Amino acid sequence: MADSARVPAPPAGGATVLPDAPAATLAATIAATIAADFTVEPDPARPFTRIWLDTFDRRLVRRGLTLTYTSIRRGHWLVLTDPDGTMTEAAAPDLGWPALLDALPDGPLRDRLAPLVGVRALLPLAEGRGRRWDLRVLDENDKTVVRLHAEGPVRLVGGGGELPAGVGLVPVRGYRVEAARVRGRLEHAGLLADPAGRAAAGYPPVAGADPVVGYRPDLPATAGVAGMLESFLGEVEHNVDGTVDDIDTEFLHDLRVAVRRSRSVVKLVGDVLPARLVARAATELRWLGDLTTPTRDLDVYLLDLPAATAELAAARPEDLDAFAGYLGRLRAAERRKLVRGLGSARLARFRRDYRAGLTAAREAALADGGSTTLLLGGLAADRVTRAYRRMVRLGDRITAGSPAEDLHTLRKRGKELRYLLELFAPLFDSVTLGDAVRELKALQDCLGRFQDGEVQQAAIQQFATDMVASGQAHAPTLLAMGELAAQRHRVQQEARAQFEQRYQRFVRPRVRRQFGRLTEVGAG
């Protein structure tokens, strides 16, 4: 490494300006700041383009993380920046966005992103251009112990303005102490900023995230329920484009969750809304739910397939390739129907009329000025109490010999209770609510494994029958699918064995008291 390339420490009282201000000025200032312990070796400044990435629901930025994709020279780099400005870098191939996590190179950065991003696609949220000076911080052996990126101002594409200059720090493995020392010096001098994270504040907002009305116990029940349904309609609409474009499977999942929640609201508390509005909503929401079910079911099979394949005992992983291909073709066909439905005049009409009806109901209830007899707090307490009692009545009748159908019904009632708790959450004491939801969730997970196991066994058998009928299955594939069905059977049996214990926990006196306290607060 040529000594002549080093950034010299500036003379006392003034900064040495390198011939590429302002990044050069920044580099010289950095060198001066850490000169007592380290030397700094800069590479020439280079232009770069940067894309800021996050999921549609901002899973990274909500945790204070920023992910960027920077193209500099002929290379591409993914950089994950922590809230404290520490960066994790990974060289990346030339990628197009949006992209799923599978497209990213293997390594620590992808491993960190995996539990956060899950199956969501990474979307480009902002793009900027600037110049960067890479600096290596060397110890007394001329070993690189820290890497720094000094960046000049970054111009955001599309009139997004300009981000100020800043310095980012990339630690080198095994040199934690040195990184901490450099960080301390730079922070003390006010130099360390997070050049990658700066754009996060400028991301487009997540639409549909804000509630239509502020939920209070003394809000007229009609206004509260209509406002909830308007929010869910917003969620549905917000996820239509991503579902149609097939960006990731979560768009459809979130759309379905909003539809399911809407259906539960209509069923459980819809009686406070105009009857005609509720009747049409019930029909159209059922249609929308049915429209989305086949594609979502196939998504679930395809998403679960890698884990199921890894558990194969006798069959080989490649034996399931034909099954995966079959599911993929089936999904493509179902998606065409889904896309047609989402773009249909029927849905457009329903959305328009439904929103107008909900808004009118909400505004009328608010204009009524509180003369409405039923308030949201009272409604919440009444319906949660009823839903819990209904669940307990059903559950108490279930014995070891009860048919699977009884457990399925209990799960449906449990889902309704869960939705009510979520809907009315702002009215409840958060600690009591958290405890109650935790108990309910444990039971619901058990019931979910039981039902999913049964449904999926039946579906795998149907897929196998159809594949044989259409000449798409060979013996090894069918045998491997048999193993998959057996896996599901085992899961179902395990869930059935756990049910009694989970249920008894759910109905023990402490939990009953929690639900009691919850509804007292809600009524408040």
Partner 1 sequence: MKVYATYNIKGGVGKTSAAVNLAYLAAQGGARTLLWDLDPQGAATYLFRVRARVKGGGRALVRGSRGIDGAIKGTDFDGLDLMPADFTYRNLDLDLDATNRPTRQLDRLLAPLADEYDVVFLDCPPSVSLVSENVLHAADVVVVPLIPATLSVRTFDQLIEFVAGLPGRRPRVFAFWSMVDRRKRGHRELLDRLPRERAEVSEVSVPALAVVEQMANHRAPVAVYAPRSPAAQAYQRLWAELASGPDRP
The residues that touch partner 1, with contacts defined as CB under 8 A, are: 91, 105-108, 111, 136, 141-144, 172-175
Q: How far is the CB of 47 from partner 1 (least distance, A)?
A: 20
Q: How far is the CB of 64 from partner 1 (least distance, A)?
A: 25
375 conformational bin, left if phi > 0, alpha if psi -120 to 50, beta if neither: beta
Q: How far is the CB of 66 from partner 1 (least distance, A)?
A: 21
Distance, in Å, from the CA atom of 488 to the CA atom of 457, rounded to the nearest integer, reads 6
Given the complex with partner 1, which of 110 and 335 has the nearer CB atom? 110
Given the complex with partner 1, which of 173 and 276 has the nearer CB atom? 173
Residue 506 tokens, joined: 């759910």
Q: How far is the CB of 31 from partner 1 (least distance, A)?
A: 18
Question: Is the bond preceding residue 22 a cis peptide, omega within 30 degrees?
Answer: yes
Given the complex with partner 1, which of 93 and 401 has the nearer CB atom? 93
Given the complex with partner 1, which of 78 and 199 has the nearer CB atom? 78
Q: How far is the CB of 92 from partner 1 (least distance, A)?
A: 10
Q: How far is the CB of 107 from partner 1 (least distance, A)?
A: 6
Q: How far is the CB of 108 from partner 1 (least distance, A)?
A: 7
Given the complex with partner 1, which of 3 and 106 has the nearer CB atom? 106
Residue 21 tokens, joined: 């201000």
Q: Which residues touch 282 (CB under 8 Å, ≥6 apart)? A: 263, 266, 267, 270
Are 499 and 404 in contact, with CB atoms under 8 Å apart? no
Are 266 and 365 in contact, with CB atoms under 8 Å apart? no
Q: What angle do CA 487, 326, 479 make, to 5 degrees?
A: 40
Given the complex with partner 1, which of 16 and 144 has the nearer CB atom? 144
- Packing angle between helix 221-238 and helix 345-367, nearest 10 degrees? 150
Distance, in Å, from the CA atom of 95 to the CA atom of 412, rounded to the nearest integer, reads 43
Residue 172 main-chain phi, psi, to 5 deg: -100, 135
**How many CB atoms are closer than 10 A to CB 47?**
12
Given the complex with partner 1, which of 111 and 245 has the nearer CB atom? 111
- For the chain, the distance separating the N- and C-terminal CA atoms, rounded to the nearest angstrom, is 73
